[in-house]
Amino acid sequence: MPSNLSLTRTTCELAIAVTIALALFSRAAAAQDPPEGLVEVSESTRRGFWLGLGVGAGGESYDVRPSTGYSEVLYRPTVSLRLGGTASRHLRLGGEVLSWINQVGPAVESLNSALFIAQLYPFSSSGLYLKGGLGIGRNAVDFRDSFDQGDTGFAALVGAGYEFRLGRHFYLNPVIDLIGHRYDDGISGDYRERLVNFGLSLLLQHGR
């Protein structure tokens, strides 16, 4: 069974590799004509209000203080909703809600994030972006009798993605996000949760 340190190192290396690959792909794609039917976003089309709906696979792990290291990663489905406005051809601002869901018998465990996000586009003619966010996190368990319990704390996100144009207003958006939560339940002390999310979104952009 791989150690927690090994899992952490593997996750970081994967995130770095994906980001580098996206950057290299972006530079190469900018130098050639895009294929028919799948066109990368350009500076002339990044504008106005935008909304994204996504699904994915998220790997959750936790660390209870005093720290013993993160637990084994548990992959479960994720859903996300993002919306906001375009400040410039290099920057989108908005909000995002992302939920990780785990069905455990009669209960549903969830890890939820409500974040203010900024997406920075290093190349104006490319769909590559880097993302950061800050907000509120909640770890909860909901039961069928409507009873629920959980903690609310601080959440932060870093990630990267790429926007492929499908039509006049629609884009396909693969993403990878690393979300961290920190909680203090007031009894047993503070603890942390971590989620690595591999997602795919459909992005709608309003405007000409």
What pLDDT, on a 0 to 100 scale, did the predictor assign at position 173?
96
Q: Mean pLDDT across the stretch 111-122?
A: 96
pLDDT band of 106, cuts 50, 70, 90? confident
- What torsion, rounded to 10 degrees, do the Cα atoms 102, 103, 109, 115 define? 40
Count structural domains, the chain.
1
* Tens-place pLDDT, residues 165-207: 898 889 999 999 999 999 987 666 688 999 999 999 999 988 6
What is the domain range of residue 96?
Answer: 4-205
Q: Residue 35: its pLDDT value, please? A: 53
* Residue 34 in tokens: 């895009």
How far is Cα 191 from Cα 193, in angstroms, rounded to an integer? 7
Question: What pLDDT, on the 0 to 100 scale, is given for residue 43?
Answer: 44
Where residue 115 sits, what CATH number does that domain have?
Answer: 2.40.160.20
Q: What pLDDT is stored for residue 172 in this prediction? A: 96
The pTM assigned to this predicted structure is 0.74
For residue 104, the tally of other CB atoms under 10 A from its CB is: 8
pLDDT tens-digit map of 42-85: 445 788 899 999 999 999 998 887 677 888 999 999 999 999 99
* 3-class state of residue 33 by DSSP: coil
